[in-house]
Structure 1
Amino acid sequence: MGFMDGSTGKRLERVDLSGAMLRHVDLRNARFEQVTLTGTRMRGVELGHVTIDGDIEDLVINGVDVAPYVYAELDRRYPDRAKMRPTDPDGFRTAWDILERLWDGTVNRARSLPPELLHESVDGEWSFVQTLRHLLFATDAWVRRVILGDPHPWDALDLPFDGMGDVPGVPWDRAVRPELDKVLALRKDRMATVRRYVDELTVDRLDAHTTPVPDPGWPGPDSYPVRECLLIVLNEEWQHRLYAERDLDALEDTTSASRPT
């Protein structure tokens, strides 16, 4: 593949560059979102003042696999993080206890801000309300649809991930601005669904595979390990709360800066 373009500020969306060769390319201040770099090889790279957030494994820098160091440091910073990788039913119940407690604190923190700020994007990320809406989608997809077998679990406020594309029957309204309490009522219902399921979780259920749901939706009609479905939900809840806390920091700074001195 050959690609030459001397312009700056180029915007590329939904472009397949797999197998591309990029040579003598200036990517300073570039932004990558929803990008897959699996199998990428970089040589002669100048990398400084770079921020990477994502699912990282087998990341070798100058001959050293740094991913284990990254994960060990994250576990050190967040002692509850290791509990998001449970192996038995009691571990899943403990993980959900932790998430309920942490999210209660995050929601209380968000309520201290002016309601309109909870619809504001920080650095192009989802707003606080959009983050909660995405977690509705995650629970509906992996618990209500895949595990519990509901072919149409969606609420109109569910927000899929940006890279999903249009899927028949799955709502996707990024622009709607519902009140926080309306979204929280849905969240309470969905979290209660997970609570009931993990409270009744047994080893046999945890080791089972789901029955495929043939109706159109996401994820597709397949059989999934229950364990993996629950781990996905735990990861979504954990990671998006951290993102929400990060963005609340920025919103609080904005609020403080706007107050008269």
Structure 2
Amino acid sequence: MSDFTEQDLGGSTLQRVDLSGSTFREVRLAGADLRDVDLSEVRLRAAWLKGVRMTGVEAPDMEIHGEVGRLVVNGVDVAPLVEAELDRRMPERALMRPTDLAGFRTAFSTLDRLWAGTVGSARALPADRLHEHVDGEWSFIETLRHLGFAHACWVGGVVLGDLSPWHPLDLPWDEAPAVAGVPWDRDVRPSLDDVLDLRARRRATVQAVLDGLTDEGLERRVTSATPFLGDADDLTVAACLKVVLNEEWEHRLYAERDLAALAG
């Protein structure tokens, strides 16, 4: 088995090569030309697919989970159709796109209610199962820890301008750059109650922000006080809160999916 770590293979030609079962991490394939390839059972995670064009493909069984913008299938942009169907299936989803302060308050209170049900499902499982991974995804505990990081990053570090908003249990995304002072403990196994205690404190911080805001304040320009998002110069309070809403919404769906698998 060959190892091509830290090598520049740009411009290479691979013809009649078997790469079945290979692992690709932090590999740049921008501009690659793939023809007559077998991608059966391929798993892509944290992939950037801007400008991808697939022609003459056969996709008898394919799933896409992620943020989808324009997606044209056989001449039809299906993204708006998917969005409408998701809103129909989950009416609360539309509340995650607030346009005023009242909408943000409703969105966060809606998440509180939905997460209460999810946590109830988690408590019905043995405690050790909440540290199990389903299909290589984060465990339930890790999911809650990552949401703690999202709150710290976007609310603490940007909206409130805290230089060090982190808690030892915070968990950045897997591909995040290593930053001094930012916790990243993959091995710690906190209890559910410990993580929920941290979530309650982070939720109280959001509520304090909302209580002190006006509709005009939602458009206040903000910059990050931490190494994350340091190059973003167009952030507003509303934009940061929407990121947190999206993180909370999507990761709860992932958690529900994986909890169901664990229970089954």
Q: Does the pair score TM above 0.5?
A: yes
Q: CA deviation at 1:34?
A: 0.5
Tell me which residue corresponds to 2:186.
Answer: 174
Tell me which residue corresponds to 1:218.
Answer: 228
State the alpha-carbon separation in 1 of the partners of residues 116 and 42 from structure 2: 36
Q: CA deviation at 1:242?
A: 0.6
Contact map agreement 1:93 1:199 (CA 8 A) in 2: no
Q: Which of 7-16 and 193-202 deviates more? A: 193-202
Give the letter for the 2:60 counterpart: G
Tell me which residue corresponds to 1:147.
Answer: 159
Tell me which residue corresponds to 1:107.
Answer: 119
User: Is residue 2:95 matched to residue 1:83?
Assistant: yes
State the alpha-carbon separation in 2 of the partners of residues 77 and 132 from structure 1: 24
Cα gap change, 1:7/1:176 in structure 2, threshold over 3 Å: closer, same or farther? same
State the alpha-carbon separation in 2 of the partners of residues 74 and 196 from structure 1: 31
Tell me which residue corresponds to 1:240.
Answer: 251
Q: CA deviation at 1:221?
A: 5.6
Contact map agreement 1:169 1:217 (CA 8 A) in 2: no
Tell me which residue corresponds to 2:36.
Answer: 24
Tell me which residue corresponds to 2:4.
Answer: none
Aligned residues: 251
Map residues 1-261 of structure 1 onto 2, 5 A cutoff: 1-4=11-14, 5-213=17-225, 216-220=226-230, 222-223=232-233, 224-253=235-264
Q: CA deviation at 1:175?
A: 2.4
State the alpha-carbon separation in 1 of the partners of residues 13 and 110 from structure 2: 49
Q: CA deviation at 1:212?
A: 4.4
Moved over 3 A (4+): none
Give the letter for the 1:151 counterpart: L
Q: CA deviation at 1:57?
A: 1.0
What RMSD, in angstroms, separates the aligned Cα atoms of the two structures? 1.2
Q: CA deviation at 1:48?
A: 1.9
Structure 2: gaps spanning 5 or more residues? 1-10
State the alpha-carbon separation in 2 of the partners of residues 233 and 159 from structure 1: 15
Q: CA deviation at 1:9?
A: 0.3
Contact map agreement 2:122 2:259 (CA 8 A) in 1: yes
Contact map agreement 2:149 2:166 (CA 8 A) in 1: yes
Q: CA deviation at 1:245?
A: 0.5
State the alpha-carbon separation in 1 of the partners of residues 197 and 45 from structure 2: 30
Deviations 1:145-167 (A, max 9, x none): 10001010011111111121212
Q: CA deviation at 1:108?
A: 1.3
Q: CA deviation at 1:96?
A: 0.6
Q: CA deviation at 1:66?
A: 0.3
State the alpha-carbon separation in 2 of the partners of residues 97 and 250 from structure 1: 27
Contact map agreement 2:157 2:224 (CA 8 A) in 1: no
TM normalised by structure 2 equals: 0.92
Tell me which residue corresponds to 1:259.
Answer: none
Cα gap change, 1:45/1:112 in structure 2, threshold over 3 Å: closer, same or farther? same
Q: CA deviation at 1:200?
A: 2.6
Contact map agreement 1:168 1:217 (CA 8 A) in 2: no
Give the letter for the 1:112 counterpart: A
Give the letter for the 1:2 counterpart: S
State the alpha-carbon separation in 2 of the partners of residues 211 and 23 from structure 1: 44
Q: CA deviation at 1:222?
A: 4.4
